[in-house]
Copies of this chain bind each other. A is one copy, B any other.
Amino acid sequence: MGVKTVVTIREVARAAEVSIATVSRVFNDSASVTAETSRRVRAAAQRLDYWPHTGARSLTTSRTHAIGVLLPDLFGEFFSEVIRGIDHGARAEQLQILVSSSHAHTDDIVAAARSLRGRIDGLIAMVPEKGSSARVRQIARRFPVVLLNPRQRVEGCASVAISNFDGAFAVVQHLIAIGHYEIAILKGPDGNVDAEERLRGYQEALAAAGLRPRPALEIDGDFTESAGYRGGAALLAGPTRPTAVFACNDYMAIGLLGALNDAGVDVPGDMAVAGFDDIAMARYVSPPLTTVHVDAYELGERAARALISRLQAPQGTRPENAVLPATLVVRSSCGSSQVVAADAREGFTSSRRSRSFRS
């Protein structure tokens, strides 16, 4: 009572009248142990309520059966799904996951990785800053690393990315296809990889259709709902009012929807709106949002699997670099009547998103 009893392998050995080596063997059912001694050992362990010390074990085996996960943030559906995917992928191999967030800067990430030395077998990390290759390689010398959505591939690191460019290209192409040619963009924050790639997709889609870029229609944003609202107000007040707006993420699209609604602008009648990410509520806003679906769960699961395969692969195996598709999801916020609406497939009875909220 109150005092934490610490039963070690030694007391079990004494109680079972064997050596600690034998107890160890029983618990790792490694070598040959008599059924009788095994029984005695297990009985003693049970009686003493012995819990093996995983930390000590991994010191000798140099295997922790844990992987580290370093993310810039934990806020929102995206990161939560990434973690869920990793957790699921890791569970298959009985790996524990050690998460740590608020690591936006590369130095932070290296420091965090450092503090993980000796407690993880490998690392999954999202490192958003430019020019981080050298320091990432420094981490990769210590343990296998899988990069999430890396800015560029790093030698010796596996990676799993989402094709932001293709997704943005597809959504803008869609807007053009249904007749728009004055298309604005609500940009993401400066320095953000995803934001940059989405902007590039927008620009190239315009170029591919022979439309010239319009700097006045490239509005600054930072992925927040309020930035979307402000961006909408700015567009309405500006000299040239676009007929369509591509918001670089759904939160901004939702804010934009709010601004347009407040201003009495009909969507999609007067203006088409598209987002990116396909967050859960994208279907529920009014009108339901045309957007680009990003499978964060799969991103995580694939990363976990990639890491596992690197943990098991012999030295020198080439790391894999996967890219997941980002697919256009047409709903009604762009009013494309000629395309079959995705919502037709999303009845309430479908299993999509219908899992329990709290178990």
Q: Which residues of A approach B to under 8 Å, CB–CB? A: 2-5, 49, 51-59, 64, 66, 72-80, 83-84, 87, 91, 96-102, 104, 114-119, 128, 138, 141-143, 189, 192, 194, 222-226, 228-229, 249-251, 254-255, 258-259, 277, 279-281, 284-286, 315-316, 348-351, 353-359
Contacts and interface: CB of A to CB of B under 8 A. Distances in A.
A3 B316 CA distance: 9
Given A100-B97, A281-B284, A348-B259, A224 B117 contact: no
B225 A353 contact: yes
With a 10 A CB-CB cut-off, give which of A58, A250, A251, A357 has the most chain B CB atoms: A357
B358 A223 contact: yes
Given A51-B117, A97-B98, A348 B74 contact: no
Contact of A118 (B56, B87, B96, B114): B56
Contact of A80 (B80, B116, B118): B80
Nearest to A358: B78
Nearest to A103: B359
B2 A118 contact: no
B73 A359 contact: yes
Contacts of A118: 52-57
Copies of this subunit: 2
Contacts of A277: 357-358
Contacts of A5: 141
Given A51-B114, A51-B142, A315 B357 contact: no
A192 B354 contact: no
Contact of A84 (B55, B75, B141): B75
Contacts of A359: 72-73, 104, 128, 192
A353 B251 CA distance: 10
Given A74-B83, A356-B75, A117 B52 contact: yes
